[in-house]
Every structure is written in structure tokens, then in C-alpha cells.
Amino acid sequence: MKKLLLGGAALMALSVGFTGVTTGSAQAQQCTTKIGAVLPTSVDWGRPIAEVAQFAVDQVNAAGGAGGCQIEMVLRDTQVDPKVGVDAARALVDLDGVEVLLGAVSSGVSMPILTSVTVPSETMMMSCCSSSTAFTNLAEQGETKGLFFRTFATTGVQAAVGAKVAADQGWGKVAILYKNDDWGQDMARIIAADFAEAGVEVTGSVALNDAQPSYRAEVAQALSGQPDAIYLALYPAEGTMAVREWIGLGGTQNMIMANSLKSDEFKENVGLQYLAHAYGTDTASPRAESADAFVEAYRARFEAEPTGPGLANSYDAAMLALLAMEAAGEGATGPQIAAAIPRVTDPEGTPITADTAGFAQAKEVLAGGGTVMYQGATGNVRFDANGDVSAPAVIWKFGESTIEEVQYLPLEEVNAIMSDG
């Protein structure tokens, strides 16, 4: 069978703990299956996403591995670049023979990987962080062949919450700066509609292309409408350049940030003094025991808080892919592994925890022909027919040393906000 990969230069193996089960209790395996992911390890916010996926792999190996073998995670850096990401994914599929690919992060990277690599090769793809509604549209048209899943909610959640922030702050006129890729275009389109529904005027919506030496002209265009605030659907590199230009040209410090800017790199390069009135949005884990358990395990392993974007989602993406691999059995193909996802996310199945002990329990249940209900870092994950999930949301701000939560919105409130729109 093709090997399951998490893409690129091998990460240092992470120690396993916090589960009550040691590696010595796991039955030794005589085979190894490579798993991998295509993730942006060359950026500061991307490395922890990859590290937490490796953490999940280590826990699974402590339970005896998946699909009859120990798992070796191989990682490739996408550099948040579609061409680099596609080349990395193609190497994993064509040369390493992967059946499952974890990644990517950016929708603009995930989309060409999906359409040109994983669907044609019938490889299952599990993304932690791609939120564009374009994936939903493809699935509805049957173009994903049931091979694409994501543990991160769609763009619509952040857009709806961003409009709520503008309305709550009394910002009646907002300009939009967005990254000119699949994700940014999707975000700009949906947020503009949500702003209109909330009675907020969009004074301008301006695209920013990668690798420009300056965004002064684009920022000036966004400023021309004299907005009360700016909405930023950008990544840290272009976000830093754009906000510096924005402040330098006299723009307001009232900002709404997509979760892609939840980055120490962005905060430090812009300067906290300019972000006092900047509010971010993100999806959030439910206030549930399984989410709390992940936070404690993360703290114990990494000696840090899991406040960066996509960490809980990355953990669940890796764990669910490996659970499905276990359920599908040794030698399973990508379509067979994808078809096993319902067996490990069954609301009526045996509840299992997201750790070594939980995976070991899942192995026993699945071997007996049963199903399990995975309770993970983002709660009890449920995929719809398009491979999408729903999620609570959070409004946040930058603090001196950490991300500060301003408001938590449970799933019911998020759904109500979105349905009102």
C-alpha cells in the first residue's frame, strides 16, 4: 500500500507521556508505516502545528501503532507556497506511495494539492486548518470523491464573528485587506456579505499579492474610503507590511484580525502599542473535558500554552487519520481509510479519550467489529457529508505575553449568528 505521510524533513521524535500508558506496555511492531504531512514549518506559527501532529503520532506508537505497524512521521515544509506544497505532496504520493496526507494549512495551498495530487491519486487528505468554503462546494459537486476532511470550521464562522466585532464596537465603516489566494478571496467575499447583514458599510476591499516589495498603493486605496476600522485577512508576513503602511499613512488602530495573524511574529514586528484596539477571531475548542485534557497534555509536553492557531485541530487531524487507518486495517487504500472515518466518529460508538490509553482502547473495540466516538482536543468531532465540521468561536486580543480571550461563543451562539446572516 502507499504510505501515510505528514510531509517533509523529518521532525525530531517527541517524547510520550501524560497518558498513564508507557511505550513498554505497547506490543513491539516488526513493521513501520510512514505517515506524513505538508505543513509550513518555515514560519513561526507553523512549526507548533507540525510538532503537535508528531505528538499524536508518538502517543499512537505507544499504543502499538496503527494499521498493524509503528508509525514514522515524515514532514515536508510548504513554505505557505502553492507550488512548493504541490511538489511536496506529489513527492509523497508518487515516490513514497502515501495513502493519507495530513495538511495543508492555507486553503490556497490545500486546494491545488487536493485537485492536482490527492484526488487524482485517490489519497485521503485530512487538513487541520484550511477553511475556504470552496472545499465545501467541491464536495457538494462530488469533486473530492469523499477523500477530503478538515478539523477546522469553514470561513463562515470567522466572517460572522468578525461582523459581530465590528457591530459591537460601533465601527460603521470597515475596509478589507485580504491575501489574494483561495482563502483570502473566500474570506473577503463572505465577510463583506456578513458586514452588510450587520449594517456595517464596506468602504473598500483590496487584494494583496505575495512577495511585493511594498503594499503602500493598496493600503492607500483602502484608506481612501475613510473607514472606522480595517479587516485583515492576511498572513503575518504581508500582514506586518500592510499594517506598518496603514499606521504610517494615518490609518486607524481599530482592527479585526483573522486567526492567521494570531502570531508572535506579527505582534512583535508590528508592535503591541499599535494593536491595543485590534480584535482577533478564531474557532475554539468546546468547554469540554476532552479539550481541557488536551491543554494539560500540551502544557506538560511543550511547557507552553496551546494558544497558537490550529494546534488542537492539528492534533485531532493526526489522531483521526490514524484511528481511521486502524479501523480500515493493514494494507488499506486511501478510499478505504476515508470510508472508515464514520467508524471512529460514531455518536453511538464507545467513547475514547485522545491519548495513548484511548487509542489502545479503540484498537480493541475496532478489532471486535465495534465503533468508537473520538473525544478530542476540539471535542467530539463530527464530519458532515462534505467533510466539514462546526465549532464554537472566540474573540481574542494580544497581551504582553500571551493571547487574551475577550469572549467565548458556544456553538449554539455561533450557529445563531450565522443563521441570522
Q: Where are the beta strands (DSSP E) in 145-195?
A: 148-150, 173-179
pLDDT of residue 323: 98
- 194 CB neighbour count, 10 Å cutoff: 25
* Number of domains into which the chain is organized: 2
H or E segment and range at residue 195: helix 182-197
pLDDT of residue 2: 55
What is the domain extent for residue 164? 155-284+392-420
Instruction: Please indicate, yes or no, whether residues 314 and 228 belong to a single structural domain of this protein.
Output: no
Strand 278-283, strand 393-398: pairing = antiparallel
Helix (H, G, I), strand (E, B) or coil at 401: coil
Helices marked H in 79-180 — which ranges? 82-94, 107-113, 119-121, 134-140, 155-169
Give a yes or no: residue 292 inside a domain: no
Q: Compare 372 and 417 and report the one with higher pLDDT.
A: 372
User: What does the pLDDT look like over 144-180, one tens digit per residue?
Assistant: 999 999 999 999 999 999 999 999 999 999 999 999 9
Does residue 236 surpass a pLDDT of 70?
yes
Helix (H, G, I), strand (E, B) or coil at 23: helix
Locate 42 and state its grid cell: 518555515
Instruction: Please indicate, yes or no, whether residues 273 and 398 belong to a single structural domain of this protein.
Output: yes
With contact defined as beta carbons under 8 Å apart, do 80 and 37 qualify? no
- 77 CB neighbour count, 10 Å cutoff: 21
Average pLDDT in the chain: 91
Give a yes or no: residue 88 inside a domain: yes
pTM: predicted TM-score of the whole model, two decimal places: 0.81
Instruction: Please indicate, yes or no, whether residues 159 and 270 belong to a single structural domain of this protein.
Output: yes
Instruction: Please indicate, yes or no, whether residues 182 and 274 belong to a single structural domain of this protein.
Output: yes
Give φ, ψ of 21 to 5 degrees. Answer: -125, 130
Q: Residue 339, preceding bond cis, omega within 30 degrees?
A: no
pLDDT of residue 21: 38
Of 94-98, 247-251, 415-419, the poorest mean pLDDT is in: 415-419
pLDDT of residue 12: 34
Instruction: Please indicate, yes or no, whether residues 145 and 70 belong to a single structural domain of this protein.
Output: yes
Instruction: Please indicate, yes or no, whether residues 72 and 182 belong to a single structural domain of this protein.
Output: no
Instruction: Please indicate, yes or no, whether residues 228 and 185 belong to a single structural domain of this protein.
Output: yes
Give φ, ψ of 202 to 5 degrees. Answer: -90, 110
3-state helix, strand, coil in the chain (%, to 5): 45, 20, 35
Instruction: Please indicate, yes or no, whether residues 252 and 396 belong to a single structural domain of this protein.
Output: yes
Whole-number Å distance between alpha carbons of 352 and 354: 7
Region 92-109 average pLDDT: 93
Region 321-341 average pLDDT: 96
The closest alpha carbon to 91, from 149, 8, 1, 12, belongs to 8
CATH of the domain at 234: 3.40.50.2300
Give a yes or no: residue 385 inside a domain: no
What share of the chain in percent tops pLDDT 90?
A: 84
Give a yes or no: residue 386 inside a domain: no
Whole-number Å distance between alpha carbons of 4 and 27: 21
pLDDT of residue 245: 97
Residue 288, burial from CB neighbour count under 10 angstroms (0-12, 13-18, 19+): middle
pLDDT of residue 14: 35
Instruction: Please indicate, yes or no, whether residues 159 and 148 belong to a single structural domain of this protein.
Output: no
User: What does the pLDDT look like over 379-420, one tens digit per residue?
Assistant: 999 999 999 998 999 999 999 989 999 999 998 899 888 876
Q: Model confidence at 218, in pLDDT bands (50, 70, 90)?
A: very high
pLDDT of residue 30: 80
Region 314-338 average pLDDT: 97
Whole-number Å distance between alpha carbons of 344 and 373: 6
Give a yes or no: residue 326 inside a domain: yes
What share of the chain in percent tops pLDDT 70?
A: 93
Instruction: Please indicate, yes or no, whether residues 143 and 161 belong to a single structural domain of this protein.
Output: no
Give a yes or no: residue 17 inside a domain: no
- 388 CB neighbour count, 10 Å cutoff: 21
With contact defined as beta carbons under 8 Å apart, do 396 and 280 qualify? yes
Instruction: Please indicate, yes or no, whether residues 276 and 398 belong to a single structural domain of this protein.
Output: yes
Of 245-249, 252-256, 296-300, 389-393, the poorest mean pLDDT is in: 389-393
Give a yes or no: residue 4 inside a domain: no
Residue 412, burial from CB neighbour count under 10 angstroms (0-12, 13-18, 19+): exposed
Contacts of 317 (CB under 8 A, 6+ apart): 53, 102, 126, 127, 128, 149, 150, 151
The closest alpha carbon to 103, from 310, 330, 345, belongs to 310
pLDDT of residue 35: 83
pLDDT of residue 27: 44
pLDDT of residue 417: 87
Instruction: Please indicate, yes or no, whether residues 164 and 264 belong to a single structural domain of this protein.
Output: yes
User: What does the pLDDT look like over 38-75, one tens digit per residue?
Assistant: 999 999 899 999 999 999 999 999 999 999 999 988 89
Give a yes or no: residue 398 inside a domain: yes
Q: At what angle do helices 311-328 and 356-367 cross, to 10 degrees?
A: 30
pLDDT of residue 20: 36
